[in-house]
Structure formats: structure tokens, C-alpha cells
Amino acid sequence: MDAFLENAARAKWRGVLGINIGKNFDTPMERAADDYVACLEKVCTAASYVTINISSPNTKGLRGLQDKAVLDALLGRIVTARDRLADRHGRRVPLALKIAPDLDATQIADIAATVRAQRIDALIATNTSLSRAGVEGLPHAEEQGGLSGAPIKAHATAVLAALARELAGEVPLIGAGGILSGADAAEKAAAGASLVQLYTGLIYRGPALVRECVRAMDRQPA
Ligand SMILES: Cc1cc2nc3c(=O)[nH]c(=O)nc-3n(C[C@H](O)[C@H](O)[C@H](O)COP(=O)(O)O)c2cc1C
């Protein structure tokens, strides 16, 4: 965290800075909340908003934090810490929760209810997928880790749309997963996203993708 904060302080960027926090791979699951609180304490003054990442497939057990009771307890600890830090620093840092695409309808409904109850400020749907649907038989399809980009787009958008139905505008949604064009960004907006997040598309399309997405989303009806 210290090295990261030094890098962030050196950056020339002075716009919105979202900082993404997670637990260490070797912290036992029952102490996961301690890691999130420690990270939040470190980054809260540097961040425009903080993302609670419970959906990376690369940290063993991390996605178990999406289970209802576990998530409720975790968010409770983090929100309490955030409010304490707000008293100390005079600024309430917004919190976003980032979830996996590999969730069923019940899990999505549970997450929506927990986020609403804990008054989390935004939901990011989605992270990479454990599924290999759409890439079966291709070279490297059996590699470990999360799948990103075009093959996960439809599923990530379906999770986003399900959250939008559950939350009915109460919690802003950030769409991610397979945005490789402005049209893809507009699709996320149509499914309920107020903002989008790009990762794989930047690798294939470069920074021009950002402008294309902004323009496409501007054309969306409010
Ligand atoms: C190599 C790689 C590293 C990633 N690291 C993180 C991470 O540290 N935290 C996080 O929340 N998401 C992480 N992601 C997920 C992306 O931010 C994004 O949610 C996901 O890849 C789906 O979007 P995309 O199809 O545009 O890549 C990572 C994705 C990739 C491919």
C-alpha cells in the first residue's frame, strides 16, 4: 500500500481516482475484514472513491466473501471504518463493491439487498469470469485465472441488468466486462449502468476507446 500510494502521488492525473482494495492472499478468510479496513485507512484520503474487490478469481477463497452473511459482516466492518475515517478527515469516501459474473439469481438478489441495507454507494458488475463459455477448444482456454473481454460481455451485461431490476435506480451501477466499442458501452448504459469501466478493450483498441464510449453514452436517453 505504501509503494502504491507513492506511485499515485507521483501521477500527473488530477481527475477522479478510484482505488481498488482486496485482501492479501495469505490472510485467513476469517480475518479478511482486517485487511480491507487497513487498506481503507491507508487510501481513503487519496481516493475519490474506493472499490471493495471481492471478485478476483486469483485470490483463493476471495469470492466466498460474496455470500450473504459473510458479505453483510464484511461491509458492516468497512462502513463503520469509513464513517470513523469521515469524522477524522472531514470527508466521507464513497464505496463501490465489485462483483463476479459467476453468480446465480439468488446470489445477485442477496448482494443487491445487502448493498442497499449497508448503503454502499455503487456496484461494479463485473469482474473476470471463471467460465470458459465461448472460448472452448481455443489455445490457452484452459489457463488458470479470470476470463475477460468479448467472451464475457453478454453474461456480464445480464448480471448488470439483473442488479438494475433489483435496485431500481437506488444504487448507481458501473458496467464492466467486454466493452470493446462505443456500442458495447451504450449496451451497458441501456442495461442500467451510469458509468462503465474498461480494461481488456484498452489493450485491443487503445485510449481512443475512451472517447468513443463517452460519445456513445452521451447519446443514450437519460
Ligand atoms: C490481467 C487483469 C487484471 C485485473 N485485475 C483486477 C484487479 O486487481 N481488481 C479488480 O477489481 N479487477 C481486476 N480485473 C478485472 C477488470 O477490471 C474487469 O472488471 C474485467 O476484466 C472485465 O472487463 P473487461 O472485459 O473490459 O476486461 C483484472 C482483469 C485482468 C484481465
Tell me the pLDDT tens digit for each residue of 140-170: 999 999 999 999 999 999 999 999 999 989 9
The answer to whether position 7 is within a domain reads no
The answer to whether position 118 is within a domain reads yes
Look at phi and psi of residue 14 and say left if phi exceeds 0, alpha if psi is from -120 to 50, else beta: alpha
pLDDT at 55: 83
Active site (catalytic) residues: 56
Q: Which residues contact 72 (CB under 8 A, 6 or more apart)?
A: 114, 117, 118
Atom of ligand 1 nearest to the CA of 98: 11
Q: What is the pLDDT of residues 54-91, one digit of tens each?
A: 988 888 888 888 788 899 999 999 999 999 999 999 99
Q: What is the pLDDT of residues 172-185, one digit of tens each?
A: 999 999 999 999 99
Q: What is the pLDDT of residues 85-125, one digit of tens each?
A: 999 999 999 999 999 999 999 999 999 999 999 999 999 99
Domain that holds residue 168: 18-132+144-218
Amino acid at 124: I
- Is the pTM of the predicted complex or chain greater than 0.85? yes
CA 89 – ligand 1 centroid, Å: 30
Ligand 1: does its nearest atom lie under 6 Å from the Cβ of 177? yes
Residue closest to 76 by CA, chosen among 108, 32, 44: 32
C-alpha–C-alpha distance, residues 100 and 130, integer Å: 9
Which amino acid residue places its CA nearest to atom 18 of ligand 1? 127
The answer to whether position 106 is within a domain reads yes
The answer to whether position 5 is within a domain reads no
The answer to whether position 156 is within a domain reads yes
**Percent of the chain's residues with pLDDT above 70:** 100
The domain total for the chain is 1
CA 33 – ligand 1 centroid, Å: 22
Q: Is 206 exposed, middle or buried (0-12, 13-18, 19+ CB in 10 A)?
A: exposed
Give the single-character DSSP code of 149. S
CATH assignment at residue 166: 3.20.20.70
The answer to whether position 6 is within a domain reads no
Q: Are 171 and 116 in contact (CB under 8 A)?
A: yes
Q: What is the mean pLDDT of residues 21-32?
A: 93
The answer to whether position 23 is within a domain reads yes
Q: Is 179 exposed, middle or buried (0-12, 13-18, 19+ CB in 10 A)?
A: buried
C-alpha–C-alpha distance, residues 47 and 43, integer Å: 6
Q: Which residue has the cell 477448444?
A: 137
Q: What SS3 class is residue 175?
A: strand
